[in-house]
Amino acid sequence: MKFYNLLIKYRLWIGLVLVALGAYVNYAAGFWPAFPLYLVGVILIAGHFFFGPLRLIQDYMENGDMEGAEKVLNSIKFPNLLYKPIRSVYYTLKGNIAMMKEDFTGAEKMMKKGLDLGMPMKEAEGASLLQMGMIAMQKNDMKQAESYIRQALRKGLPDKENEAAAYLQMCSIMMNKREFRASKDFFRKAKALKPTTPQIVDQIKQIEKYISRMPG
């Protein structure tokens, strides 16, 4: 795995060295002896631009090193050359990092680009729509937030934690609209999923204190 990561990290330079070596062999001994060097070099260079170094981000994300993940993303100088599904992931990750930095305008812009390109899985699309809904809530645009979160629930979400978060956001939106019966229904759905994420569990406890006193 370490070797593979090193290959991804340095494949552009390795590819350029192999092409240069191929040119020397071509000059010294002819085209066919140089052909394997040309072939491997071109494959490595093409891989760098078409697939990018996104595989390297996984380790940083797992270790919670957002700065390292951002450096990898910033190393991609020509994102429009990335293969379309990978380009979608690239913009989604850019949006996630912007959101963590509370740059909601930048996060929304990047998320929209990722969604417009299409997600490789419906669950990933649902998760992005949920995040777009949360961004809209931060901007106090409840109408847009409701639209995004309803779309996220229709598309499907990757796990019960995300689903519970979506129901709780809908619960808050319905409270804001004074649609108390709908708010209680969304709260029951969130609680029934028995989420374990501390932030979501705490939010359920806070809402539970007063939701029973609401009419409807």
User: Taking the CB of residue 99, how many other CB atoms lie within 10 A of it?
Assistant: 20
pLDDT in tens, 32-84: 999 999 999 999 999 999 999 988 888 887 787 888 889 999 999 999 999 99
Task: Specify the pLDDT at position 23.
Answer: 96
pLDDT confidence band for 216 (50 / 70 / 90): low
Q: Is the pLDDT of residue 1 over 70?
A: no
Predicted local confidence at residue 195, as pLDDT: 93
Residue with more model confidence, 214 or 81:
81
Number of H helices, E strands in the chain: 11, 0
- Only one residue has tokens 């070797």, namely 3
Cα–Cα nearest to 4, from 71, 58, 68 = 58
Please give the CATH architecture assigned to the domain spanning 72-157. Alpha Horseshoe (1.25)
Give the integer Cα–Cα distance in Å for 42 and 27: 18
Mean pLDDT to the nearest integer, 137-165? 93
- Indicate whether 213 pLDDT > 90: no
**What's this model's pTM, rounded to 2 decimal places?**
0.81
Share of the chain above pLDDT 70, in %: 98
Query: Which pLDDT tens digit goes with each residue over 162-194?
Result: 999 999 999 999 999 999 999 999 999 999 999
For residue 123, pLDDT beyond 80: no
pLDDT digits (tens, 9 = 90+) for 95-121: 988 988 889 899 999 999 998 888 767
* Mean pLDDT (the chain, rounded): 91
Q: What's the mean pLDDT in 152-164? A: 93
What would the 3-class secondary structure string for 74-103 be?
HCCCCHHHCCHHHHHHHHHHHHHHHHHCCC
Specify the pLDDT at position 152.
94
d(CA 147, CA 158): 19
Q: Does the pLDDT value for residue 31 go beyond 70?
A: yes
